[in-house]
Structure 1
Amino acid sequence: MARRIEDLRIGFIGHGRHARANLYPALGLAGGRLTSIATRDRAAAARAAALHGAARGHGDHRRMLAEDGLDAVFVSVAPEDQAAVTEDCLRADAHVFAEKPLGMDEAEARRVADTAEQAGRSVAVGFMKRHAPAYRRLAGLMADEAAFGRVLSFHAFFAFSPWTDTLRDDTYLKFGAVHMVDLVRWLFGEVAEVSGHTNSRGSDISMAATLRFRSGVVGSLTLAGVPAWSREQEELTVTGQRGFARVENLSAVAYHHARRAGAGRGEAWQELDEDTVVVRSVNSPASGGHQDLYLRGFAGEVRHFLEAVANVTPQAASAADNTATMALCDELLRSLRPAGRTERGPNL
């Protein structure tokens, strides 16, 4: 029987920077009401509870799970802890929204999926790009076979400046670029073959991969984590038989459909006969500062999770689906070959 989102008993484990900036506000926009918050420090949890209107703050998430009768729990803790904490929530009969990465590799992700199946509870993973309006528009364009034609290829680019000098290829991929890995799976299906190269030096990350999907789609994925990209950048261009589309930084989608020459008309180049449509987000103070939460997909992913819990419907990014994304991350890392260094002499 369907329930109202505002009637759900919701807990939140974690109160870090990402949670405060994106998940707590998105939860409010979705109409959710917090029952309790848990952090590692009871006093900090009490302050967080007061800030977000929760009735209780706990210094131990296991106590919160045992005492508060929660329907759903949000988990946003250290990456290496998220799988175990998620399993604690599942064993307490709560549905879970877990930030990525959920599991540090395929094996850990599969363990969480098995626990969710045994508990009969659902797990949504924080792959918010699936809910970003720009990528939803792109998916709709690709689905219009008459206008776009069969999807042939893509190029994806994702870059940002590292937030720590301890990042390496594996942690960069699984803590950040995993979003693009999951996105191309969502758009194009499962991957049949992967090959790649890395030119990383310490925490300066640079890698490129070529992917062939079971659907026949082929594409390239270029990833970077270096100080040059203090302005985070992401781009995705998809080519079909009769059209192409490009998403840039989640705020604009450009798409073009090829026109067939009409009867009695000359060559297309003799006329102004080609158009590319560009759609952008509206720039308005009416957003109240929430626009980024919608455009990046945070508002959409949280709303979807709460609606799924209230109506007992499947999640868009389940624990089982997450296993496939983490498996692809592992395969990408195994495929990477170091780029050879070229020594340049004084006369070269």
Structure 2
Amino acid sequence: MGRNHLRVLSDLRETELAAVSDQDSNAMAAASEKYGVPGFLSWREMLAKEQLDALVVAVPTRSHCEVGVAALERGLHVLVEKPIAYTLEEGRALVEAATRAGKLLAVGHVERFNPAVRELRRRVAEGELGRVFQIHARRQGPFPARIRDVGVVIDLATHDLDVMSDLVRSRVDRVYAETEQRIHTEHEDMLNALIRFENGVVGVLQVNWLTPTKIRELSVLGERGLFLVNYLTQELTFFKNADVDHRPDAKRDLQSVSEGEMVRFPIAEVEPLKLELESFLQSIDHGRPVEVDGEAGLRALELALAIITSASEARVLQGGALEVRPSAEKPRRRSQES
């Protein structure tokens, strides 16, 4: 992910790429030469020697807190890749460090910046779907050899948990999940989860590293029809319920459902990472809050950890039980009495 940040930042106007750090000497040297900036094997040395305004933290999850807190304490604004941290305790430490320093902390939940998702959010907020019943996310694809420190819940599902929470705008009531470990040596590589929000919306989450084609879809079902987002093509399609009056002032009393008109909305394609980085830098320039802050990052991580616990302990988590284990370590399955 760090390579993508470098690529996009180098092309942004009124932004100066100042330095790069990577523990891999070959990667560091290549990036330093390509972008014409100083390169460091040690991020600590980079922070000590370079005059920086902001830092993008795209290191392994276990190091997010250490690097991010150090940068904030030096007076830098920070964008940390998702998940915000490896544990809730570390995530809170990042949020607290940003508050103490009076600096911005953004979390890289990049799907929030997908143009199709942004348009979906606007239309749902304006009531075009009526009452929302269900949100179903599918994030599936081949196994990535690069991922070793976390499983699909932390690495992938946090994207959709963040988008779901942002769309639903309701606290979670209960969670149940099933995971499987087929290829990954340490963590889960398949997830199926159900999430019940307090406002009655049901979230369905299917995530894996076992599918031989890349699928990135989000559907939102409501009384007036179904919105479908294709993250990859940035398409937003609306399948109307023909048995509902779609006029803005029409009475909403769902009696039946039948197949109606399909509408595909025009979306201007833009790389979500570009929009994310532009938003972060504009927040710095104009002194305004970031779009995805540390609290949003904590909510996504807390829900992800609840999912891991539910799957490991084979039980529904509800109410206070949602305040779960403080880290992404794979919990041991509970022994069952015979």
Q: If the TM-score is normalised by the length of the shorter chain, which range does it land in? A: 0.7 to 0.9
Letter in 1 for 2:280: F
Choose the corresponding residue for 2:263, options 252, 277, 290: 277
Choose the corresponding residue for 2:39, options 57, 61, 80: 57
Which residue of 2 is the match for residue 34 of structure 1?
A: 17
Q: Is the 8 A contact 1:191 1:211 kept in 2?
A: yes
Choose the corresponding residue for 1:132, options 109, 114, 118: 114
Q: Is the 8 A contact 1:29 1:299 kept in 2?
A: no
Is 1:84 aligned to 2:59, yes or no? no
Q: Is the 8 A contact 1:42 1:60 kept in 2?
A: no
Query: Hey, what's the Cα distance between the residues in 2 that align with 1:70 and 1:51?
Result: 20
Query: How far is the alpha carbon of 1:210 from its aligned partner?
Result: 0.9
Choose the corresponding residue for 1:250, options 232, 236, 243: 232
Is 1:214 aligned to 2:198, yes or no? yes
Query: Hey, what's the Cα distance between the residues in 2 that align with 1:101 and 1:182?
Result: 10
Which residue of 1 is the match for residue 123 of structure 2?
A: 141
What SS does the corresponding residue of 1:148 show, helix, strand or coil? coil
Letter in 1 for 2:264: V
Q: Is the 8 A contact 2:151 2:189 kept in 1?
A: no
Which residue of 1 is the match for residue 90 of structure 2?
A: 108
Is 1:234 aligned to 2:216, yes or no? yes
C-alpha root-mean-square deviation of aligned residues, in Å? Answer: 2.7
Is 1:260 aligned to 2:242, yes or no? no
Query: How far is the alpha carbon of 1:58 from its aligned partner?
Result: 2.6
Which residue of 2 is the match for residue 172 of structure 1?
A: 152
Q: Is the 8 A contact 2:224 2:246 kept in 1?
A: no
Query: Hey, what's the Cα distance between the residues in 2 that align with 1:129 and 1:165?
Result: 20
Which residue of 1 is the match for residue 256 of structure 2?
A: none
Choose the corresponding residue for 2:278, options 290, 303, 306: 303
What SS does the corresponding residue of 1:34 show, helix, strand or coil? coil
Which residue of 1 is the match for residue 324 of structure 2?
A: none
Query: How far is the alpha carbon of 1:238 from its aligned partner?
Result: 0.6
Query: Hey, what's the Cα distance between the residues in 2 that align with 1:50 and 1:224?
Result: 36
Which residue of 1 is the match for residue 287 of structure 2?
A: 312
Letter in 2 for 1:86: G
Deviates more, 1:58-67 or 1:325-334: 58-67
Letter in 2 for 1:73: L
Query: Hey, what's the Cα distance between the residues in 2 that align with 1:338 and 1:49?
Result: 47
What SS does the corresponding residue of 2:260 show, helix, strand or coil? coil
* Structure 1, unaligned runs of 5 or more: 1-17, 263-272, 283-290, 340-348
Query: Hey, what's the Cα distance between the residues in 2 that align with 1:199 and 1:76?
Result: 27
Give the alignment's TM-score, normalised by structure 2: 0.79
Q: How many residues align?
A: 296
Query: How far is the alpha carbon of 1:281 from its aligned partner?
Result: 5.8
Query: How far is the alpha carbon of 1:167 from its aligned partner?
Result: 5.3
Give the alignment's TM-score, normalised by structure 1: 0.77
Query: How far is the alpha carbon of 1:276 from its aligned partner?
Result: 0.9
1:261 and 1:36, CA in 2 relative to 1: closer, same or farther beyond 3 A? closer
Query: Hey, what's the Cα distance between the residues in 1 that align with 2:53 and 2:94?
Result: 18
1:232 and 1:305, CA in 2 relative to 1: closer, same or farther beyond 3 A? same
Runs of 4+ in 1 over 6 A off after TM superposition: none
1:337 and 1:86, CA in 2 relative to 1: closer, same or farther beyond 3 A? closer
Is 1:184 aligned to 2:164, yes or no? yes
Q: Is the 8 A contact 1:122 1:319 kept in 2?
A: no
Structure ranking higher in helix proportion:
1
1:216 and 1:195, CA in 2 relative to 1: closer, same or farther beyond 3 A? same
Query: Hey, what's the Cα distance between the residues in 2 that align with 1:224 and 1:299?
Result: 26
Q: Is the 8 A contact 1:96 1:122 kept in 2?
A: yes
Q: Deviations over 1:155-186 (max 9, x none)?
A: 11111212139859x52211222212222122
* Structure 2, unaligned runs of 5 or more: 248-258, 315-338
What SS does the corresponding residue of 2:18 show, helix, strand or coil? strand
Q: If you compute each CA radius of gyration, which structure gives the higher value, 1 or 2?
A: 1
Q: Quote the sequence identity (%).
A: 26
Deviates more, 1:215-224 or 1:300-309: 215-224
What SS does the corresponding residue of 1:156 show, helix, strand or coil? strand
Q: Is the 8 A contact 1:253 1:279 kept in 2?
A: yes
